[in-house]
C-alpha cells in the first residue's frame, strides 16, 4: 500500500517544527528533517507514523519507551505529537548527522573489519544498557542496517524502536513475531520467546552484512567465503557463535559478546573452549580511566603517573597507556633506554602492524605502554586500533594518558569506551583563557552530558591569594588537590634517573587515596587482603602468562 504522508516539505508541525526534507522511509513510518522555529539553528528528526498500518498503541508506546531511556547510543526524544483525526502521529527526536549502515555499505561496499568491530562494540554497550533496564529488560528485536546511524564522528545510534518490547520471564512466546529477514533470530519466526540473545543473533548477522558488503546471513550459514582474506578467523568464529540457531549456544549477554569481539580484535581464539578460560569474568569488570589536561602543560601525564603509583601501592594490577594523540614522552620519563626489557616492542606498534606483542614492560603491578618516541603514529591510527591497544593491555585497570587532545577525533572512541574521565588543570590563569581551552571544555561538557563520569584534579595546588577564585573556575568541585612538589626535589630525582620516586611522593599519595576509592570496583578497593582481589589478580596473572599475541604470525 502506497504511503499517504500528511506532511510535506515546508509544512509546520505543532506550530514549531518546519519540515525541510524527507530523510528516510520504512514500512510503517517516514522520517523527516525539521528546523525548530523556537530555537533557530536547531534541527530535529521527525518520525511520522500511520496508525492504520500499525497497532494503535505502538506509537505512544515507542515514545514513552524512548522518554525514559538515556544512553549515548540511543536517540533522545524531545517531543511527541499524538495522532490526529486522520490517524497520523509524530515523534520528534535528535537529528544525527551521518548515514545508516545500509547507506554506508551500498555506497562504499564491504567495511574493514576493525571498523565493523568498533560499531559492534558500541552496539554491545547499547544492548547492555537496554537489557539491564529495571524492572523489565528491553529487547530491541529489529537490529538491521537501516536502523543504525553512523555519525560523522564515528558514533553509532539505534534509531527505530517500533517493535522493541519489554521481556517477561513468565511468557513462553511473544504476542507478535516481528523482525527483518536475514537479521531476525529463528525464535522470532517460530513462536518462541525473544530475549537478550535474540538481539545478539541480529548483531552477528549485522557483522556479516558489513563484512560481506551486503550479504544476509541465515542461521547455520557459513560466512567465511564471502569475506576478504584479511578478516581474522577469530572474528568469523565469533559471528558463527552469535548466529547459532539455539539461543543457549550463543553468548548469553551483551557483556559476554563484547568480550568475544575484543578477543577477536586481539587475535585470540573465539571458540567455546577459549571462553571457558574466563569463567565469570567479563570486560565489564575492567576499568578504563582516561586522564587528560584541560590544556597543554596542565600536568595530565604527571597525574596519570601518580595514579599508577597509587594503584601500585594497593597492589592493583593496572596498565599506564600513552594514547597516540599525545606527543610521546612517557618512554623518556621512565628512562626506557635503561629500564625497558631487551628487544621491547611497543604495544602501539604491535597493534598497528598486527604483530605479536612480547616482552611486556612491568614494574610490580604496573605495566607500562609508552608510545615509540621516534615514530609518530597519529596519522596512521584509527578507532579499530584503539580497541586493539586497549585489549593488549590485558589488565583489569587501564589508565590512559590523553594529553590535552579532547577535541581530536581519535579521542572520541577512547572517551566513549572510558569508565571515568579525569580532567587536570593548574592555577595559571593565562592557560584557562586560551581558545583551545574553551574548545576542550566544550568537548568535556558534551561527554558529561552524554553520561560519562567526569572528575577534575587541581594540580600544583599551593596557598596563594587567589586560590579560592582559581578553584571556583572548575565546573564542579575538584575531586583531588595535588600539591606542588618542591622543584629542587624534582630536579634532583630527574637527574639521578629514578623513575617513579617523584610520583610516589607521600603528599601526592595521601590526596589520591579517596579518589581511588571512587574509581575502583568494590572488589579492588580494599587491597591485596581482599579474597576477591586476590582471585582477580591470580586470574589476570594467568592471562598475562599465556601471551596471546604469540598466536599471530610475524608480518613484514
Lowest mean per-residue pLDDT among 209-223, 242-256, 348-362: 209-223
- pLDDT band per the 50, 70, 90 thresholds, residue 498: low
- pLDDT band per the 50, 70, 90 thresholds, residue 58: low
Q: The cell 517460530 sits on which residue?
A: 190
230 shares a domain with 113: yes
* Residue 290, beta-bridge partner list: 400, 421
Domain span at 63: 12-94
386 shares a domain with 291: yes
308 shares a domain with 271: no
194 shares a domain with 84: no
pLDDT at 526 over 60: no
Quote the pLDDT of residue 27: 54
Lowest mean per-residue pLDDT among 46-55, 193-202, 243-252: 46-55
Query: 312, 364 in Cβ contact below 8 A?
Result: yes
- Residue 71 in grid coordinates: 544512553
Widest pairwise Cα distance in the chain: 82
Quote the pLDDT of residue 66: 67
Identify which of 97, 105, 195, 93 has the alpha carbon closest to the alpha carbon of residue 146: 105
Residues near 208 by Cβ (< 8 Å), separated by ≥ 6?
Answer: 215, 216, 217, 223, 226, 239, 243
Residue 553 domain-assigned? no
79 shares a domain with 45: yes
433 shares a domain with 302: yes
212, 247, 275: which is the final residue of a domain? 275
| Average pLDDT score over residue span 160-172 | 46
pLDDT at 289 over 60: yes
Quote the pLDDT of residue 120: 93
Quote the pLDDT of residue 551: 32
CATH number at residue 337: 3.40.50.300
229, 255, 275: which is the final residue of a domain? 275
In the predicted model, what is the mean pLDDT of the chain? 79
- pLDDT band per the 50, 70, 90 thresholds, residue 486: confident
CA–CA distance, 336 with 376 (Å, rounded to integer): 17
Query: 187, 82 in Cβ contact below 8 A?
Result: no
Highest mean pLDDT: which of 2-16, 168-182, 356-370? 356-370
| Average pLDDT score over residue span 122-144 | 86
Residue 1 domain-assigned? no
Identify which of 500, 466, 462 has the alpha carbon closest to the alpha carbon of residue 481: 462
114 shares a domain with 43: no
CATH number at residue 202: 1.10.510.10
Residue 280 domain-assigned? no
Residue 4 domain-assigned? no
89 shares a domain with 53: yes
339 shares a domain with 216: no
236 shares a domain with 146: yes
- Residue 357 in grid coordinates: 606483542
* pLDDT, tens digit (0-9, with 9 covering 90-100), for 400-447: 999 999 999 888 888 988 889 999 999 999 999 999 999 999 999 999
CATH number at residue 40: 3.30.200.20
Any idea of the CA torsion for 533, 537, 539, 544, to the nearest 10 degrees? 160
Residue 198 domain-assigned? yes
Q: Looking at the 3D structure of the chain, how many domains does it have?
A: 3
Task: Please report the beta strands in 60-167, taking only residues with DSSP state E, as ranges in sequence order.
Answer: 77-81, 88-94, 98-100, 138-139, 148-151, 156-158, 165-166
- 497: number of Cβ within 10 Å: 11
Alpha helices, DSSP H, located in 314-408: 330-333, 336-339, 347-353, 383-393
DSSP secondary structure, 504-541, as one string: T-HHHHHHHHHHHHHHS-HHHHTGGGSHHHHHHHHHHH
Could you give the percent of the chain with pLDDT greater than 90?
A: 28
113 vs 5: which has the higher pLDDT? 113
349 shares a domain with 208: no
94, 125, 158: which is the final residue of a domain? 94
406 shares a domain with 336: yes
Residue 555 domain-assigned? no
197 vs 25: which has the higher pLDDT? 197
502 vs 258: which has the higher pLDDT? 258
Residue 3 domain-assigned? no
Question: Angle CA(386)–CA(390)–CA(393) in degrees, nearest 5?
Answer: 145
Residue 223 domain-assigned? yes
* pLDDT, tens digit (0-9, with 9 covering 90-100), for 332-378: 998 898 888 888 889 998 888 877 777 889 887 889 999 998 887 87
Identify which of 207, 200, 190 has the alpha carbon closest to the alpha carbon of residue 141: 200
* pLDDT, tens digit (0-9, with 9 covering 90-100), for 88-116: 888 888 888 888 999 999 998 888 888 89
Amino acid at each position: 500500500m502506497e504511503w499517504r504522508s500528511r506532511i510535506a516539505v515546508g509544512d509546520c508541525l505543532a506550530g514549531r517544527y518546519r519540515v525541510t526534507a524527507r530523510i528516510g522511509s520504512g514500512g510503517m513510518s517516514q522520517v523527516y528533517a525539521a528546523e525548530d522555529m523556537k530555537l533557530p539553528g536547531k534541527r530535529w528528526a521527525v518520525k511520522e507514523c500511520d496508525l492504520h498500518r500499525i497497532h494503535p498503541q505502538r506509537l505512544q508506546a515507542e515514545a514513552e519507551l524512548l522518554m525514559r531511556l538515556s544512553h549515548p547510543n540511543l536517540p533522545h526524544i524531545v517531543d511527541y505529537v499524538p495522532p490526529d483525526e486522520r490517524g497520523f502521529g509524530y515523534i520528534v527526536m535528535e537529528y544525527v548527522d551521518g548515514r545508516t549502515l545500509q547507506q554506508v555499505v551500498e555506497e562504499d561496499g564491504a567495511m574493514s573489519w576493525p571498523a565493523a568491530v568498533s560499531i559492534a562494540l558500541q552496539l554491545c554497550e547499547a544492548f547492555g544498557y537496554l537489557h539491564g533496564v529495571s524492572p523489565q529488560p528491553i529487547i530491541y528485536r529489529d537490529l538491521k542496517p537501516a536502523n543504525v546511524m553512523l555519525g560523522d564522528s564515528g558514533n553509532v545510534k539505534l534509531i527505530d524502536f517500533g517493535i522493541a518490547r519489554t521481556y517477561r520471564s513468565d511468557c513462553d512466546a511473544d504476542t507478535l513475531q516481528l523482525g527483518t529477514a536475514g537479521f531476525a533470530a529463528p525464535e522470532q519466526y517460530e513462536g518462541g520467546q525473544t530475549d537478550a540473545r535474540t538481539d545478539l543473533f541480529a548483531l552477528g548477522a549485522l557483522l556479516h552484512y558489513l563484512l560481506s558488503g551486503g550479504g544476509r546471513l541465515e542461521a547455520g550459514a557459513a560466512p567465511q567465503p564471502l569475506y576478504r582474506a584479511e578478516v581474522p578467523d577469530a572474528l568469523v568464529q565469533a559471528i558463527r557463535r552469535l548466529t547459532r540457531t539455539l539461543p543457549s549456544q550463543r553468548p548469553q549477554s551483551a557483556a559476554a559478546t563484547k568480550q568475544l569481539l575484543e578477543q577477536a580484535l586481539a587475535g585470540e581464539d573465539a571458540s567455546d573452549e577459549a571462553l571457558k578460560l574466563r569463567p565469570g569474568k567479563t570486560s565489564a569488570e575492567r576499568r578504563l580511566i582516561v586522564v587528560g589536561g584541560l590544556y597543554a602543560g596542565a600536568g595530565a601525564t604527571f597525574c596519570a603517573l601518580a595514579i599508577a603509583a597509587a594503584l601500585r601501592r594497593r597492589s592493583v594490577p593496572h596498565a599506564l597507556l600513552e594514547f597516540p594523540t599525545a606527543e610521546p614522552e612517557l618512554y623518556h620519563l621512565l628512562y626506557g633506554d635503561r629500564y625497558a626489557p631487551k628487544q621491547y616492542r611497543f604495544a602501539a606498534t604491535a597493534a598497528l602492524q598486527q604483530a605479536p606483542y612480547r616482552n611486556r614492560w612491568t614494574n610490580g603491578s604496573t605495566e607500562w605502554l609508552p608510545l615509540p618516541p621516534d615514530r609518530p603514529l597519529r596519522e596512521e591510527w584509527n578507532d579499530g586500533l584503539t580497541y586493539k591497544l586497549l585489549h593488549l593491555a590485558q589488565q583489569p585497570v587501564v589508565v590512559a594518558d590523553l594529553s590535552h587532545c579532547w577535541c581530536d577525533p581519535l579521542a572520541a572512541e577512547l572517551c566513549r569506551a572510558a569508565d571515568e574521565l579525569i580532567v587536570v588543570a593548574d592555577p595559571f590563569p593565562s592557560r584557562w583563557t586560551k581558545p583551545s581551552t574553551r574548545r576542550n571544555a566544550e568537548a568535556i561538557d558534551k561527554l558529561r552530558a552524554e553520561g560519562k563520569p567526569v572528575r577534575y584534579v587541581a594540580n600544583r595546588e599551593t596557598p596563594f591569594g587567589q586560590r579560592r577564585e582559581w578553584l571556583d573556575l572548575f565546573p564542579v568541585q575538584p575531586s583531588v588537590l595535588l600539591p606542588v612538589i618542591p622543584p629542587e626535589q624534582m630536579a634532583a630525582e630527574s637527574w639521578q634517573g629514578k623513575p617513579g620516586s617523584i610520583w610516589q611522593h607521600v603528599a601526592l599519595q595521601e590526596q589520591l587515596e579517596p579518589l581511588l576509592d571512587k574509581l575502583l570496583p568494590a572488589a579492588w578497593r580494599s587491597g591485596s587482603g581482599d579474597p576477591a582481589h586476590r582471585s582477580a589478580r591470580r586470574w589476570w596473572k594467568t592471562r598475562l602468562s599465556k601471551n596471546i599475541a604469540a598466536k599471530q604470525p610475524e608480518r613484514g
